[in-house]
Chains A and B, each alone.
Chain A
Amino acid sequence: MSSGSSQSRLRSIASTLAVALTLTLAAAAGCDSRKEPELLSVQEKMRETHIYGQSKLRIGVATNEPLMGELRNGQHVGFDVEIARYIAASLGYEGEQRLEFVSVATEDRIPSLQGGTVDLVVSSFSMTEDRKKLVSFAGPYFVTTQEVMVPVRLKDKIRTIEDLRDPAYKVCTSGGSTTEAELEKHQVKTFVVKNVGDCVDGIRKGRYDAVSSDESILAGFLASFPKEFEIVDMPFGTSELLGIGVPIGDPALRDLVAYFLQKSYEQGRDGDASPWQTAYNRTLGPWLKAEKRQPQPLEVPKLVDFDDKAPAK
């Protein structure tokens, strides 16, 4: 009898505790459901950028790099342009009326960002330590290597970096590019012009003998003149990480661009058709020797967005 009553007393105490704990948990859950998210949302990040409330987004692109950024029949086309369109649409700027492409020469990429004439630069912009002191980068969105393109007549004569040092050959490259610095490091004397397209024109007119630049840019010119040129594989040690240039004073915009690149990266990794893959297949894909994938962007912030609840698979 006494053991029965002590057992029932024990049970009633356990019940009391259980009821109290359940009520406490329910209260905590109720308070929790009314809390703001701890992570910043894309929308809040948007409010911190300099483009918030701007009616048009201005993106600096190249107009004379076939396959990457080119002006064809008044339309901007190319891999960089498609990436720029994806980023712009993600930021809320879709359609010709809200998006303005600004033609930016290779050497003007940094000044145009610094001067505020463009909001972003998507133009085969290699991410380097020196440049990071002047502008911010989101990316990389593409990894390429430095290559040399020679006219078909010289394809057996120029095979190595040693051959490039031969003063008999005039090597051309674009000013303010990473290639210029890399060639200088290898003691190759170069003729520096404004754009890679000028080098290609020069070779076709007999002024230069070789042009060095990123593989992706050269592939574009090779696509334009497939019978006149050949790309020579040379062991320049560095890989070029192409990134999207953002004004250094706008870290929020950089974070957002990196976030949207990451979103595309995750889509591609899960085997879906990502915006990056679509852009690649439509432009560079058929012209590059080796198949490429979207590289993982660096320093991607954790943000929440409305579609985070969508099923992963």
Chain B
Amino acid sequence: MSAAPTATGGDGPVPPPRSSVPGGAAEAPRVDGTVTAAPVVDPPPAGPDGEVAWPAAVPVAEPAEPVVAEVQPGRVRWDPAERRARASQSFWTAVVGVPAIFSVLRLGVEAGGELQTTLLLVANVGPVNLLAGFLTTAARLLSTGLVAVFALGAVLAVSADRLPPGARRRPLFARWADITPAWVVLASFLLALITWPLLYLPLLLPAFVAAFQLRPGRLHERVVPRLLLIGALLAGYGWLMLPTLRAAVQQGGEWLVLALIVVPPLLALFIAGPLPGMVIRPLASVTEVAVLATLVWAAVPVISTPVLPLTVTTVGPESGPTEDVRGHVVTTDDVNMVILQERGGVRYVPVDQVRAQVLCPSEEELPRYQLRIHDFHVEDSLLEGMGRRVRPVHRIDAACRTPA
């Protein structure tokens, strides 16, 4: 919008269009930031973004009837199409903006809070690298948030439909689920399927059933075939999970693991709703707060996950003592290799002193369970598990064991 006020004041109705809007007209002379009177013969000056700003002296063609009736400033009633367009606009703004903001925040954390180090990183880490790095670490969090919203939204929506019409506003998640196209919902579930750890994947089952409202009745219209189908599905699931369950019991009853594997498929049978009317309102409010809190809580580790890979660089003269520098390589040019050290600080190592360099895992990657589902580790996602099949051998280099 133009910063220059119109003749009738900022909040007034927009003056009706003149015969032509001249392009590239000179800015009206200003004194103390206000638009002064311009000769009447002059074409109207244009604002910074080309909008016409009428000088105060230009007489405004007052319409016989107030324009307000058509435009209604302030409260605007959007028609559904416009509303959808606005929603899609904010959706894409969020899709692009949130990762961008997060990535910049991460750079600050990565630099150890030092301004100059942050600037060094900003200068050397490309936006594409930054976004890709962000997505690899945040895809799990992102899909979790979306899946939670869509599953809860669908259940709340179908329950709210049962309420007397016009009782109250529909819950927020229900409205979101209403306006989201099915392919977006499906895409979030697919993203979750390939990025969630296998151990948590069973939870995706009730969520999927809830989001798409797949009641058992949709399997078959008659009861007996329906029960048989459900039995077959559960048996297949059991075949998949039984060795893991046995191992979990042998390892001293990991209760959470047992619950996470056994319970979700049973919940999927009942979760589609509708919920009783009295539950909807509290559930909607509690889950809205809970999802928001979870996202904030889970975003902290995403922000503090390093942007650059961890390496150990062996540094030293041709024949002499060497030193291991543990850190993230920011950039390498003809003269120096710039390493952001793990314990803080930036080190400029002359390129001809670099003897060796190895990639190291970080301690967050240590597994917590010794369980596998058909040789896929339970803490791997499907994507990671498949990756380990492509490059199965991974030896940790000796240099990675050296203290930081």
A interface list, Cβ under 8 A from B? 9, 11-19, 21-23, 25-30, 32-38, 41-43, 46-47, 52-53, 88-94, 97, 304-313
Contact = CB atoms under 8 A, between A and B. Distances in A.
Interface centre among A16, A23, A308 (most CB of B within 10 A): A16
Nearest to B140: A33
Contacts of B94: none
Interface string B374-389: 0111011000100011
Given A305-B396, A306-B361, A37 B401 contact: no
A9 B370 CA distance: 43
A134 B139 CA distance: 54
A30 B271 contact: no
B390 to A, nearest CB: 10
25 contacts: A12-B273, A12-B274, A12-B275, A15-B271, A15-B273, A16-B275, A18-B206, A18-B268, A18-B271, A22-B264, A22-B271, A23-B287, A25-B203, A28-B260, A35-B368, A41-B363, A46-B401, A92-B401, A305-B396, A306-B365, A306-B366, A309-B367, A309-B377, A309-B379, A311-B389
A275 to B, nearest CB: 11
Contacts of B351: none
Contact of B399 (A18, A46, A92): A92
B281 to A, nearest CB: 13
B366 A41 contact: yes
B380 A309 contact: yes
Contacts of B395: 307
Contacts of B203: 22, 25-26, 29
Contacts of A37: 366-368
Interface in B253-302: 256, 259-260, 263-264, 267-276, 279, 283, 287, 290, 294, 298, 301
A297 B221 CA distance: 61
Contacts of B402: 92
Contacts of B375: 311-313
B300 to A, nearest CB: 10
B393 A18 contact: no
Contacts of A43: 363, 366, 401
By Cβ-Cβ distance, the 6 closest A-B pairs, closest first, are A92-B401, A94-B398, A18-B271, A309-B377, A14-B270, A18-B270
B400 interface: yes
B370 A308 contact: yes
A68 B281 CA distance: 77
Nearest to A46: B401
B260 A25 contact: yes
A40 B143 CA distance: 31
B394 A12 contact: no
B367 to A, nearest CB: 5
Given A19-B275, A309-B384, 6 more contacts: A12-B276, A15-B273, A22-B267, A22-B271, A91-B398, A311-B392
A52 B366 contact: no
A299 B200 CA distance: 34
A32 B379 CA distance: 11
B275 A92 contact: no
Contacts of B298: 30
A95 to B, nearest CB: 8
B292 to A, nearest CB: 14
Interface in B71-130: none
Q: Which label, helix, strand, loop or mixed, suits the secondary structure of the A interface?
A: helix
Contacts of B276: 9, 12-13, 16
B164 interface: no
B401 A38 contact: no
B259 A11 contact: no
A16 to B, nearest CB: 5
Contacts of A52: 403
B403 A310 contact: no
A170 B402 CA distance: 51
A89 B363 contact: no
A289 B121 CA distance: 63
B392 A21 contact: no
Contacts of A32: 256
Contacts of B376: 311
Given A22-B206, A23-B287, A15 B272 contact: yes
B271 A94 contact: no
A32 B260 CA distance: 11
Most buried by A among B259, B322, B367, B393: B367
A38 B275 contact: no
Contacts of A25: 203, 259-260, 263-264, 267
Nearest to A26: B203
Contacts of A18: 206, 267-271
B340 interface: no
A27 B368 CA distance: 18
A89 B367 contact: no
Contact of A29 (B200, B380, B389, B398): B200
B307 interface: no
A15 to B, nearest CB: 5
A313 B388 CA distance: 11
B46 interface: no
A16 B279 contact: yes
Nearest to A17: B270
B28 interface: no
A280 to B, nearest CB: 20
B368 A19 contact: no
Nearest to B323: A55
Contact of A53 (B256, B301, B368, B403): B403
Nearest to B206: A22
Contacts of B275: 12, 15-16, 19
Nearest to A36: B368
A210 to B, nearest CB: 43
A167 B148 CA distance: 88
A16 B283 CA distance: 9
